[in-house]
Structure 1
Amino acid sequence: MGGPICKAVTLFCIAMIDAGNYEVNAMFFVCTSVPPLAVLLSTVIFKNKWTDADRIQARSAGVMGVVGITEGTIPFIVEDALHILPGTMIGCGCAVVTAALSGVSLPVPHGGIFPVLVAGNPIMYIGAQVVSIVVGAIIVGILRRPVAADAK
């Protein structure tokens, strides 16, 4: 979610780009869109598990996710980590495995939709994200408890 560990991994990925290894970079940055877009999709699919305010906030997080900014998910994790983190983590894991197995490469240190223009195997770059967002959204939706009718 953009903290110090994320910055260390970004530095490592930039070193890998310099060394000509674009696949490691792709495995990391294919994940940046997954958590916020998984939460957004979950608010659409599982309406009874989110308040109206959550759905509005998820739209903002989704816009951030499209351009590779994961931090829009932080408010949801702070509020309900036990039900949000497993889905977003498994979704990111699916993205990494899909990107690795399909030979996705990325010569720029950025995630989201924009790097698709320079990605090696751009169809699978997008495919890894789409599949992982759906997987993450379903897991988040299954784990979350329904919202009380008076809290909507």
Structure 2
Amino acid sequence: MDALNSGKFAGFNLSLLKFAWLSQSFGGVLFGFAIPMFAAFVANSIGGKLAFPAGFIGGLMSTQPTQVLNFDPASLHWVTTAPVPSTFIGALIISIVAGYLVKWMNQKIQLPDFLLAFKTTFLLPILSAIFVMLAMYYVITPFGGWINGGIRTLLTAAGEKGALMYAMGITAATAIDLGGPINKAAGFVAYSFITDHVLPVTARSIAIVIPPIGLGLATLLDRRLTGKRLFNAQLYPQGKTAMFLAFMGISEGAIPFALESPITAIPSYMVGAIVGSTFAVWLGAVQWFPESAIWAWPLVSHLGVYIAGILLGAVITALMVIFLRHMMYRWGKLLIESL
């Protein structure tokens, strides 16, 4: 808005700024549905489609909690206060509870056939919504908010050391399963912090791209460093694909390597991701935009350090996986299909 009101832009540049503002606003609205939709599908996976609304309501209340009603003895009036959102923690808890509750109610509440539509379209949704409202208001929001508030206070009080500890933890959770459920959970935690401008998403964004780049790089360096090809034939073209996907922000390109030899791939890209992301955070790289790879690079502060962290992590990943595979091959514990 400051740029729009500065009067320095006109014509195409002004139109571009307006489009950027629209994209930011639209993206913010869409991102607000991430946790509610996550909770809805978790509840749906447990209790079926009847649990979907309850999960969505619980997820929405975890990000936009109902205000708490308190009596102020000083003014002798009832006042409302906004509690700390329980965010991902609250959404996860309520989605599981709601899923099992709806599943149980659907089994236990037996009505005549002519009331079946009433049961599925009105009774169960109303009962589950009331339960979610009460559970979130009295139990889950206070508990989850207390945990979130404590974590934020601890990280803020710890200053730089806290930021580095957070970077290491969120990196490990992001990299470990390459886009799997642990990765997604880490994403919700990281994005909840950037929503309130507590901690940037730098470490997570770097951790997404290091594993595929590092493992892809290993397929280019193994023969040069050891004089022998250390990967199965089909992994060489997949290595190039993994590197390309990494620049699109997709870490799943590294999955074939992790499946083929988890004992060599997973420790390698975990170490590389942690070292690379922590290095970048330590030297001051900052990213608030909730996206990874080239889509976010124009918005990164200290981009040179950011790229250096990615390269450092990728090189460490490549060298470590080459070393481990070479040692296992020499010990006769690794079979390699030749080209």
Q: TM over 0.5: same fold?
A: yes
Pick the aligned partner of 1:6 from 164, 183, 201.
Answer: 183
Instruction: Give the Å deviation of 1:68.
Output: 1.5
Pick the aligned partner of 1:45 from 211, 221, 232.
Answer: 221
* Paired position in structure 2 for 1:20: 197
- Contact 2:211–2:251 at 8 Å: present in 1 too? yes
The code of the aligned residue for 1:136 comes to T
Query: Could you say which structure has the greater relative contact order, defined with CA pairs below 8 angstroms and 6 or more residues apart?
Result: 1
Q: Is 1:115 aligned with 2:291? A: no
Secondary structure at the residue paired with 2:239? helix
For structure 2, the residue ranges without an aligned partner over 5 or more in a row are 1-177, 224-228
Secondary structure at the residue paired with 2:284? coil
Pick the aligned partner of 2:205 from 16, 19, 29.
Answer: 29
The code of the aligned residue for 2:214 comes to A
Q: Is 1:151 aligned with 2:328? A: no
Counterpart CA distance in 1 for 2:276 and 2:215 is 15
For structure 1, the residue ranges without an aligned partner over 5 or more in a row are none
Cα pair distance change 1:120/1:149, threshold 3 Å: closer
The code of the aligned residue for 1:124 comes to V
- Contact 1:27–1:96 at 8 Å: present in 2 too? yes
The code of the aligned residue for 2:216 comes to L
Task: Find the structure with the greater CA-based Rg.
Answer: 2
Deviates more, 1:86-95 or 1:43-52: 43-52
Counterpart CA distance in 1 for 2:216 and 2:336 is 20
Secondary structure at the residue paired with 2:183? helix
Kindly tell me the number of residue pairs found equivalent between the two proteins: 151
Give the TM-score normalised by structure 2: 0.42
The code of the aligned residue for 1:115 comes to A
Q: How does 1:57-136 map to 2 (within 5 A)?
A: 57-136=238-317
Instruction: Give the Å deviation of 1:149.
Output: 7.7
Residues 101-135 of structure 1 show CA distances to partners (whole Å, capped at 9, x for unaligned) of 11211121222233110011111111100111011
Residues 68-124 of structure 1 show CA distances to partners (whole Å, capped at 9, x for unaligned) of 211111111111000111110110011221122112111212222331100111111
Counterpart CA distance in 2 for 1:96 and 1:150 is 34
- Contact 1:40–1:58 at 8 Å: present in 2 too? yes
Deviates more, 1:110-119 or 1:29-38: 110-119
CA RMSD of aligned residues (A): 1.7
Matched residues, percent identical?
23
- Contact 2:231–2:336 at 8 Å: present in 1 too? no
Instruction: Give the Å deviation of 1:150.
Output: 6.2
